[in-house]
Amino acid sequence: MKKYKIKSFEFDDYTLVLLALTLIAFVLRVLNVGYLTLWVDEYIHVNGASSFPEQPLWGADNNGILYTMFVIPLFKLFAVNEFWARFPSVVFGTLTIPLIYWFGKKYFNRYIGLFAAVLLTFSQYHVFLSRIARFYAIFVFFFLLFALYLGKTMDVKNEWKPIKNKFFDYLRCTPKNLGLTVVLLLLSLISNQMTFLVIYSIGFYHFVLFLVRLYRKECNFLSLNAIITYGFVFFCAMTFVPAFQSFLKIFLFILFPENYWNFLPELDRLKALMETEPYKTFHLYLAVPQTDYPLLWIAGIIGFVWAFFRFKKSALLNFSLSAVLFFLMSFIYREPFLPRYIVYLYPFFLIAIAVMFYEIVVWIKRKYPKKAESLVYLLLVVLIFLTPIKQSFTMVTHLKHGQVAPRALSNLYFPYWKATLNNLKPQLGENDVLLSTMPVHLNFYLGRDAHSFRQRFYNPAKYQYENLPVDTIHPNAASTQGLAKLLQDNDRVWFVADYYFNANNPHSDPETKDYVLQNMRFEFNMSNKYISVFSWNKERPITQPAAMFESVSSESPSSFPYTVQFPPGNSDVQMALDVEGITRENEMMVTINGNKSAIPRATGEIYKQTGDSRSRQYYIIPVPRQIIRESDNKVSFELNSRGKQDNDRFVVYNVLFSE
């Protein structure tokens, strides 16, 4: 292999490949990173950084406080915007590429490190989460860096040389490595509290080594492996055995508040989940590698096992840091569960895939020793084409809002708040009152506070949604009564809503939604396919029926199915659809009891007079009696895919019938 030297720094072709991968990784993660409207959880860091030092960093949500620390100087030096809020994720996501290479090289070999770096560079899962102003990318980086030094501290590579210090010779590590490991553990912990699960990784690693040495009759019952195994077994008993856990809680209750007992799973809840949906969380997490690497994920599963035949202790370290925690999060620490929560385990899974590609290198070197290096480079190119490179580049270059990444990789949804709020801003009066399903967006983009439109909240103690208390004294929209008083006490009110206002969203009360539709005007031209704007003017109050409110667009092309009652009789029925926003012929489809038909523009009442199909109006269609049921008739609306355009959007307000 060709060597290069610049002054005292020596490097080779693989170093150049790694540098190229790091540069590509940076471009993938930084390109258009400020385009999307901030996602709601990103405000945890944005608000924390922009209000520092006036407000302390330790607030209600401290998970990922380290990320906020990195955002603060960027906001102070440059600007408070989406780009600088997300830039630390870009940096740490990029730095994880050389880091996974070093981890792979240290505990396996440089081929495995390089293959893993390729896989992580083009991973759509990692690229996406490295473009979010949240703790995901920084957590991956510090957990992997901690794992790198943890392996040194546990002498995975059997490199220990005695230093004539009884304590450190017993631990088989140097003071420097132990100190660095502890510091990195703390950095990982303040990146995300899930780091505490590494207790199980360390315990499992030493437990397996203890059993192996016991089997080989090499075991010292006072060795480090043995001592950690005793503590691990005791810890597991106190955590998972009901009687022991109850005993432990007595002491924890005295020492700590209940919300600090994160490591204690709720055993009754786990039992109920195992009876009703035992594999739900497991399948959700497994879908991440299946979606990101559909052609290679099986190789990763095999790689975890195959690595034990070649690398033994390194394989055990990789397995303990990934498969063990994956199992725990799938079946024990399984709530809450979202695809992004296993991102810190993902590099170890990619290492396992890389192990299987290394076997191809072994075969190449044995079969074609003279052409080995050239064939390894060819293998790298093949591997790149097996990555989701196309999907990753499309994701960062094709500018769109909504569901940016595949749902199996992320449930994050980015409504286009910026466009709507830019339309609203010129209309706002100084004394206008604002109301929103997401007040944080109005505060950030308009610089004004807004009341929250939420009537229900999720109670994690009861695992169900409950109503917020009714307050008729303070301005609020936490109930229908509170909203009614808010409107009556103010001359003008603007309500800006996203998907939390949808028909089936559990956070909003149907009665309160109906009150909005009955008393507030929907501003079609100020809204878009993601965000709806409603207005209230006390001088021009309106009262209108509130049968439904379905906003159908290219982003949400189908409506919620409604149950309607047709008039009795034997003759055909005329259906009148109250619709706004039709711009092209047969744009709207209606499905009645499974029978689908298009709605011609020519049936609109205003269209017949002026040719305007966009305005709110009734469209009349005949409904044959033979498709009508006596009860439980289902009606839904959708966007006609034929001739569909990206800006297609219409709203259905009501449905009326006559014979």
Percent of the chain with pLDDT over 90: 52
Reported as a pLDDT band with limits 50, 70 and 90, residue 9 is: low
Give the DSSP letter of residue 37.
P
Residue 165 has pLDDT above 70, yes or no: yes
pLDDT, tens only, 506-535? 888 888 988 998 899 989 888 888 899 999
pLDDT value, residue 573: 87
pTM: 0.88
Q: Read off the pLDDT of each residue in 353-377 and give the average, rounded to a whole number.
A: 90
pLDDT value, residue 539: 87
Backbone phi and psi for residue 652, each to the nearest 5 degrees, phi listed first: -105, 125
Give the DSSP letter of residue 637.
E
Q: Cα(576)–Cα(617) distance, rounded to whole angstroms?
A: 9
The two tokens of residue 119 are: 């896989």
pLDDT value, residue 10: 61
Q: Read off the pLDDT of each residue in 336-362 and give the average, rounded to a whole number.
A: 94
pLDDT, tens only, 405-463? 999 999 898 988 988 999 899 999 999 999 999 999 999 999 999 999 988 888 766 77
Closest CA to 248 of 460, 259, 236, 336: 236
C-alpha 93 chain-centroid distance: 15
CA atoms within 13 A on the CB side of 281: 21
pLDDT, tens only, 199-252? 999 999 999 999 999 888 887 888 888 999 999 999 898 888 888 877 777 776
pLDDT value, residue 550: 85
**163 or 546, which is more confident:** 163
Residue 259 has pLDDT above 60, yes or no: no
Q: Read off the pLDDT of each residue in 367-385 and give the average, rounded to a whole number.
A: 89
pLDDT, tens only, 34-72? 999 999 889 989 988 888 877 777 654 556 789 999 999
**334 or 128, which is more confident:** 128
Q: Are strands 617-623 and 573-580 parallel, antiparallel or unpaired?
A: antiparallel
Closest CA to 636 of 559, 549, 581: 559
Q: Read off the pLDDT of each residue in 571-599 and give the average, rounded to a whole number.
A: 89
Type of residue at 464: Q
Reported as a pLDDT band with limits 50, 70 and 90, residue 255 is: low
Highest mean pLDDT among 79-83, 167-171, 561-565: 79-83
Q: Cα(36)–Cα(445) distance, rounded to whole angstroms?
A: 13
Q: Read off the pLDDT of each residue in 95-105 and give the average, rounded to a whole number.
A: 97
Type of residue at 135: F
Q: Cα(5)–Cα(8) distance, rounded to whole angstroms?
A: 7
Please, which residues have CB within 8 angstroms of residue 99's CB and are 6 or more apart in sequence?
Answer: 141, 144, 145, 148
Q: Read off the pLDDT of each residue in 381-391 and give the average, rounded to a whole number.
A: 94
pLDDT value, residue 11: 63
**501 or 555, which is more confident:** 501
Counting Cβ atoms within 10 Å, is residue 374 exposed (0-12), middle (13-18) or buried (19+)? exposed
CA-CA distances (angstroms) from residue 587 to 7, 336, 552, 613, 646? Answer: 68, 40, 11, 11, 12
Q: Which residue blocks in 216-279 are alpha helix, DSSP H? A: 224-240, 242-255, 267-276
Residue 544 has pLDDT above 80, yes or no: no
Long-range CB contacts (< 8 A, 24+ apart) of 507-511? 507/437, 507/454, 507/455, 507/456, 507/457, 507/465, 508/437, 508/453, 508/454, 508/455, 508/456, 509/455, 509/456, 509/467, 509/479, 509/480, 511/480
Q: What is the dihedral of CA 44, 45, 46, 52, to 10 degrees?
A: 110
pLDDT, tens only, 286-316? 999 999 999 999 999 999 999 999 999 999 9
**SS3 annotation, 42-53:** HHHHHHHHHCCC
**247 or 395, which is more confident:** 395
Q: What is the dihedral of CA 10, 14, 15, 21, to 10 degrees?
A: 170
Q: Cα(107)–Cα(255) distance, rounded to whole angstroms?
A: 40
Q: Are strands 649-658 and 573-580 parallel, antiparallel or unpaired?
A: antiparallel
Residue 504 has pLDDT above 80, yes or no: no
Please, which residues have CB within 8 angstroms of residue 512's CB and are 6 or more apart in sequence?
Answer: 453, 455, 477, 479, 480, 483
Q: Read off the pLDDT of each residue in 538-547 and give the average, rounded to a whole number.
A: 77
pLDDT value, residue 644: 76
Q: Tell me how long the chain is.
A: 659
